[in-house]
Structures are given as C-alpha cells and as structure tokens.
Amino acid sequence: MLVLVLNSGGSSIKYTLYDMPEETAVAQGSVDGLGLDHCTFTHINPQGKFQEKMPIETHLEGLRIILARLQEELDRTGQPLSIAAHKLIHGGPRLGPVEFLTEKAIDEIAAMATVASVHNPPALQGIKALGELAPDVCQIGVFETGFHATIPDYAAVYGLPWALAEKYGLRKYGFHGASHRFIAQRVGEFLGAPNMKLISCHLGSGTSVAAIKNGIAIDISSGYTPQSGTMMSTRPGDFDPEVLYFLLANNICTLEETRQMMNKESGLAGISGIKGGDLRDIEEAAGKGDKRARLALDAFCYSIKKYIGAFMIPLEGLDVLVFTGGIGENSPLVREAVCQGLDWLGVELDPGKNRGCRGDALISTPASQVRVAVLRTNEEIIVGRQAWEYWQAHR
C-alpha cells in the first residue's frame, strides 16, 4: 500500500512516498520557496534526481506538480495512492496522536492556529489542497504532541486557575514527537539495549529535549506551544512571561509585533543580531571574535545542558544521551559544549569521535558511564508508520 507523507510549511512542501508495510521509500522530494523567484522543485527516486526552478505560488500548485510526478511512480508500481499522512504540530486537547482528517478534526486544527501560527495554517492549506486534487485519498493526521501524551499530569499541568486551564486546554503538550519517537526506537537497535533511561536532544531551528524511560516519554522541554523550553534559532525558549506584559502594557510592541518578535527575531538571532539565527553563521561569527555570537552560542548550549540535568531527576539517572536534528547531527562544537562539565554525571566525550562522526555514531569513550550517541532522525517514516497502523486498525 502506498502512503504519501506530507509536511506542509509556510514556504515549502516536503514529501516521501512509502510502500507499506515494507517501509520502502519509493520517492521523495520537496517544493522549496513557494511564492519566491528561486522556488525549486526536487524529486528523487531510484532512477535519479530531478531538480528544476519553477514559479510555484501556492500549496495547491505545488501539490498538483508533486502528484503529477508521483503518478509516474504509481504507474511503475501498479498501485494507487491510498493514504496521505500529514505531519501536524498541534491538535490541541481533543486531537491525537493520530486522526482521520474529518471536517471536525480540521476545525480543531484551525482553532489551534492562533498559538501554532507558524505551522498549522500552512498544514491546513496542504490538507485542503490535497482534498481538492485527490478527493479519494484517505487523509490522516499524525500529531507531534502524540508521543508526549504519556507525560504524567503533575509534569504537564500549569499553575494556572484550574477552570481556565481545563476549559482551554492550557498545559504542556510537547513537540518534535515524531523525532523523539524515532530516537526512542532507534537507540535500542543501535546500542542493543531497548530498556534504558534516555535523554533525546532534537536540535535544529526548533529544539526540544525529551526524557524517555523504557521507550515512554515522561517529560519534554517544550510546552503549550513549541515556543517554550530551550533557546532556538529565532525563538526565545523559557523566559519570564511578565516581559510580554511589560512590552504590551507600555505600548512598546503591538500584539502582532510581539508575535513576530517571538517567532522570527529572538533566540540565537535575537542575541547575535544575525538574521535567521542559522547556527552555522553563529559559529563562524563566534570563531572570528564576535562577542554577541559567542554569547548566543553559549546561551543556546547552556539552555540544553540545564534540561539534561533537570531530566536526570525524573529518569532517576541516565544511560544514554542522544543528539539528533540538523544541529545535533552536524555540529561537533555544540555537542562538545553541551557535554563539557558533565563528567561528574558520568559523561565522557571522545573528542576525535565527536569531530569525525558521520551518520549514526557512538561518540563517548569506552569508560563513559553514560553513552553519548549521534543518531540521524527520520520523522517521515514515523508519520507513515503511524498513519498506516491507524488505517489498518480502523478500516
């Protein structure tokens, strides 16, 4: 059965076509730069890679081009497209971990667009566009929050008035669930020990640190939205909420300016002054003596390190520390900075292995009490697998 995994972003559409249950990737690709002059369509299959710049303005146009190219794969395999699995960020208190995307479910996703403003609106555009182009395809949503549903109530509850929090679902949800779920499964295969105390650090433009015990999530740095927790490329992470009240009450920022600041102008970008907060640019600037870039880098790594220490309490120790995501997989400097000073916790990094690792690797010394690993995440296969299993259970 062919399952199309879709991740619709504000200016991009990423996709992978799987043959399930074998989990064979038939094709994958992306539309990057929707509405921009440099918009590029990329399609990769076993026969090779196709890439072309073309004017694509909307998700509808992008998906039309994707489906046209995928038709060649359908013809080659002799199978129809049965399921479209959407990677979704936030379904609020009433959706998840996996749902058929009925009108009611779509309304719930739309209701959470106020707080998931970067992710939910483009995801909704993708769902609507696919419904128009392929109305017979079963659309299923797989929610990032689903993996964290096992977090105990005492770790998820906010200290807000109970009636208000209960009515509006104001609590910790947690994000990057597909990545943390993949790592929880992959680490057992990689190390040959499935039952363990694990901290998974998904470090990218968005970051989160998860505490996982025997494959089950027990805490997560992110909260009601992906904003809270560790510092990120353009998001601040944890800070005193009275800061926002001060800015709004004194008319320093409007509500929309505050939203823009929180999503696009804070975190690494805000401290360093380097637009976009790309860690590669931050590292380069810090290496040349830029003090603000150095401060941003130090603050980023410190925010991660704090959560590692905090999560050793509910885990009652630590067996494995994993780095994943674009930064976690590719920045030896960040991995070294995060692990520095953790020797008293039993973390002993091998500098050579850390600098030289490519792909999945163990980067701790043989004497290290806590094993430190770099693992490449695969969120798409998790989304495809969960959607297929859900369809099998409910058909």
Domain count, the chain: 2
Report the pLDDT averaged over residues 222-237: 96
**Predicted confidence (pLDDT) at residue 371 exceeds the cutoff of 90:** yes
* Interhelix angle 291-315/332-339, nearest 10 degrees: 60
Report the pLDDT averaged over residues 194-208: 94
Domain interval for residue 261: 192-374
pLDDT of residue 62: 96
Residue 194 banded pLDDT, cuts 50, 70, 90: confident
Residues 234, 139 share a domain: no
pLDDT of residue 96: 87
Residues 91, 28 share a domain: yes
The percent of residues above 90 in pLDDT, for the chain, comes to 95
**Predicted confidence (pLDDT) at residue 193 exceeds the cutoff of 90:** no
Convert the pLDDT of each residue in 257-294 to its tens digit.
Answer: 999 999 999 999 999 999 999 999 999 999 999 999 99
In a domain, 380, yes or no: no
Pair 25, 15: CB distance under 8 Å:
no
pLDDT of residue 290: 98
pLDDT of residue 37: 87
pLDDT of residue 137: 97
Burial environment of residue 337 by CB neighbours within 10 A (0 to 12, 13 to 18, 19 or more): middle
Report the pLDDT averaged over residues 102-115: 95
d(CA 83, CA 392): 11
DSSP 92-152: GGG--SEEE--HHHHHHHHHGGGTSTTTHHHHHHHHHHHHHH-TTSEEEEEEGGGGGGGS-
In a domain, 381, yes or no: no
Pair 192, 384: CB distance under 8 Å:
no
- Fill in the DSSP letter of residue 345: G
Residues 71, 123 share a domain: yes
pLDDT of residue 25: 96
Q: Give the SS3 label for residue 195.
A: coil
pLDDT of residue 117: 87
In a domain, 182, yes or no: no
Residues 18, 98 share a domain: yes
The pTM assigned to this predicted structure is 0.95
Q: Which of 357, 311, 307 is nearest to 332 (CA)?
A: 357
Residues 358, 216 share a domain: yes
Convert the pLDDT of each residue in 316-339 to its tens digit.
Answer: 999 999 999 999 999 999 999 999
In a domain, 196, yes or no: yes
Convert the pLDDT of each residue in 19-56 to its tens digit.
Answer: 999 999 999 999 999 998 899 999 999 999 999 999 99
Those residues whose C-beta lies under 8 Å from the C-beta of residue 384, and which sit 6 or more positions away, are 3, 5, 16, 18, 20, 23, 85
d(CA 189, CA 173): 27
**Predicted confidence (pLDDT) at residue 118 exceeds the cutoff of 90:** no
In a domain, 387, yes or no: no
**Predicted confidence (pLDDT) at residue 60 exceeds the cutoff of 90:** yes
Domain at 65, CATH number: 3.30.420.40
- Identify whether 21 is preceded by a cis peptide bond (ω within 30 of 0): yes
Residue 195 banded pLDDT, cuts 50, 70, 90: confident
The encoded tokens of residue 98 equal: 């996996």
pLDDT of residue 372: 98
d(CA 293, CA 286): 5
- Identify whether 97 is preceded by a cis peptide bond (ω within 30 of 0): yes
**Predicted confidence (pLDDT) at residue 395 exceeds the cutoff of 90:** no
| Mean pLDDT across the chain | 96
